[in-house]
A and B are shown apart, each in its own frame.
Chain A
Amino acid sequence: MASTLHNEDLVGMLCEMIKARIASDRLWSLQRQGRIGTIAPINGQEATVVGASWALDPDHDWVLPQYREPMGLGRYGPEILHRFAAWAIGHPQGGHIPEPLRVFPPQISLATQILHAVGLAWALKLRKEPGVALTFFGDGSSSEGDFYEAGNLAGVLEVPVIFLCSNNQWAISTPTSRQTAAAGFATKAEAFGIPGVTVDGNDPLAVFEVVGAARDRALAGKGATLIEAVNYRLGAHTTADDPTRYVPADELAAAKERDPLIVFRRQLEDRGIWDQAMQTDAERAGERAIDDAWAWASNLPLHQTDLFDHVFATPTLRQQQQRNGLTEYLRGTP
């Protein structure tokens, strides 16, 4: 599969990885400035997300992220980062990813999206649409009941879904050894009756290859695949976390040696398709992307009564009364 990648794909993948890292770092700074709420960085997981996205067809394939991945989904268009910035600010439009983009908004309730992916893949199968649903989740989420229910159901239904467990070694402060006694997360596929594959999540080409194979299999009507992409969380769980309390310094230092942005850059330089000028250009493009997203998100109009919108297609009488009452209150009239 990797052989079908052209040099411009490899360059494009590295550009997206750089863009994701820059967006993540910028959002971190914005949180520290008090301009956005809690944010979970993508640092260390860029290769997993970008490599997987490169194996998908954005016109047909769906992505159901957890909450870090949207920063790495530039392949689905700049709109994803715009919406993610709005989501980070806390604007309602952050959860609205417009048609026809086949991406779900961030999911906070861990592992619930794995079942949504199965249902969505089931709909694709019933409607005979050529596409797959790929869902991201973490090593911690694999302990949730929804992961097991989803894996089991996908096995029974033989639906075109790809489960991508981004194993970054940490669920906040809990190491993988406290999540499972199994020899890796991919082994759990056996209980679902589906294939399970472990891949180096720091290598976007390796991720591209296994996701591509899983996608081919799904499109051929052979059902689901569980992929464990092994990477390392190169920093905090979120802006509210202090990993120095629990991550061994030497382990983190070793992981930084394997930083996918460094390793993949070196690989492309060795191939003679990347140089310092391209690095500078990519970093500038990354800055522009998050600048644009931030400018868009921070200029969205907002009314306090927007909080009533989109609960139901048609508001209930009671919601209308509450909305009217709030409007009057905000106007300062009795």
Chain B
Amino acid sequence: MSDQTATEAQTASGTLRNEETLAMVSAINQTLMAEMHRDERVMVFGEDVALSGGVFRATEGLLDEFGSERVVDMPLAEAAILGAAAGLAAGGMIPLPEIQFLGFSYQAMHQLAGQIARFRYRTQGRFSMGITIRAPFGGGVRTPELHSDSLEGQLANIAGLKIVTPATAADAKGLLTEAIRDPDPVVFLEPLRGYRGIKGPVPMGEHRVPFGKARWASPGDDVTIIAWSYQVEVAVRVSRQFAEQGISVGVLDLRSLVPLDIASIVAAVERTGRVVIVEEAVPTGGFAAEIMATINEHAFYSLEAPPIRVSGFDTPYPVGMLEDTYVPDVRRIEAAVNKLINAAP
């Protein structure tokens, strides 16, 4: 709870002197810049990351600062990007490949799931894969097909990958720093809508956020919403609306899915007994289902009502005109919270 108080104090007082307000994309850009300065083995490569600075400008300025040996525009081939990353890591580099949109990772899944995720295991520690794969994902910006898919549940089902999902600009910096320094492969998921849609205070200088430590984005005693990435932002809006009615809805931001902060999930269930889990993905076999299973295993007797998932649907991610129906929004989450409040204890 002390963390929660600290977060609230910062928000209330606005930007502290040792902080600056940044959009998430700028926090990511600054972190890449800082880590490349810190360690010359760090290199960034992918489609359009160098000359154009990335389609979201996350890698802007890196080419000028570090040159074309360390900031590299790659041929348009996702398997080559990740397969080469594996070889680079084995050769002593710290590769930061970018997959331009997470949905494109299907074209590299054999290198991700079949190779990068298991190299340390296969070689019993000889070759570690200190690779951070950055990829934008999630909906809400009217992209063409396969640009918005939320594949975190599929990725979490691959043993050997860490899955990191920042929801704030500060966490984007802290978690990305941690990812780059992690000796194992990290899939670092950046919300499309959050690049410029999420702004906030970011600590200046070194800032690290450990994996597996969830964050109370908003405190609450009646209902807990468990979310990650951009849906934390949506859930906080829901929480504010209920606060006006005198209903206390907490938002637990998981920050990383692998490793998972089981203790905080259990604590949240024990505190409120009522849980909504939000994800933008296909629900069947997804990560919200994983959290439900975790709750059942560790906190079943603290439940006061059956948990509810607010997810996408068991359909492919739809085209733009159907997108707003597919992606969870304030109203759908509100409905789930109301259902839990009205459920008999």
Chain A residues at the B interface, C-beta cutoff of 8 Å: 92-93, 95-99, 104-105, 109, 112, 114-124, 126-127, 133, 145-146, 149-150, 152-153, 156, 309-313, 316-318
Contact = CB atoms under 8 A, between A and B. Distances in A.
A153 B75 contact: yes
Which 3 residue pairs across A and B have the least CB separation, nearest first?
A119-B87, A123-B91, A115-B83
Nearest to A97: B126
Nearest to A118: B84
A150 B75 CA distance: 10
A311 B86 contact: no
Contacts of A124: 91
Interface string B153-193: 00000011010000000000000000000011000000000
A115 B111 contact: yes
A255 to B, nearest CB: 32
A109 B160 contact: no
Contacts of B87: 115-123, 133
Contacts of B75: 149, 152-153, 156
Contact of A152 (B80, B110, B127): B80
B93 A312 contact: no
Nearest to B128: A313
Most buried by A among B127, B159, B160, B183: B127
Contact of A93 (B83, B88, B124): B124
Given A105-B123, A118-B83, A120-B91, A316 B259 contact: yes
Contacts of A127: 91-93
Contacts of A123: 87-88, 90-93
B212 interface: yes
B85 interface: yes
A119 B120 contact: no
Contact of B77 (A116, A122, A153): A153
B110 A318 contact: no
B125 interface: yes
B159 A311 contact: yes
Contacts of B183: 313
Nearest to B107: A145
Max chain A Cβ within 10 angstroms of own Cβ: one of B79, B83, B258, B260: B83
Interface in B72-119: 74-75, 77, 79-80, 83-93, 95, 110-111, 114-115
Contacts, number: 133
Contact of B259 (A105, A122, A156, A317): A317
Given A146-B110, A310-B121, 7 more contacts: A96-B125, A98-B126, A99-B126, A115-B84, A115-B111, A152-B77, A312-B120
A251 B159 CA distance: 45
Interface string B199-216: 000000000000010000
Output the residue of A115, A127, A316 with the most chain B CB within 10 A. Answer: A115
B91 A150 contact: no
Nearest to A127: B92
A126 B93 CA distance: 9
B90 A150 contact: no
A122 B91 contact: yes
B79 A119 contact: no
B210 to A, nearest CB: 11
A149 B212 contact: no
Contacts of A118: 80, 83-84, 87
Nearest to B77: A149
A152 B79 CA distance: 12
A119 B259 CA distance: 28
Contacts of B43: 126
A143 to B, nearest CB: 14
B124 A309 contact: yes
A312 B119 CA distance: 10
Given A122-B87, A316-B212, A317-B259, A153 B80 contact: yes
A109 B122 CA distance: 12
B126 A120 contact: no
Given A112-B115, A122-B91, A96 B83 contact: no
A116 B115 contact: yes
B120 A149 contact: no
B135 to A, nearest CB: 18
A146 B115 CA distance: 12
Contacts of A309: 124-125
A70 to B, nearest CB: 13
A122 B83 contact: no
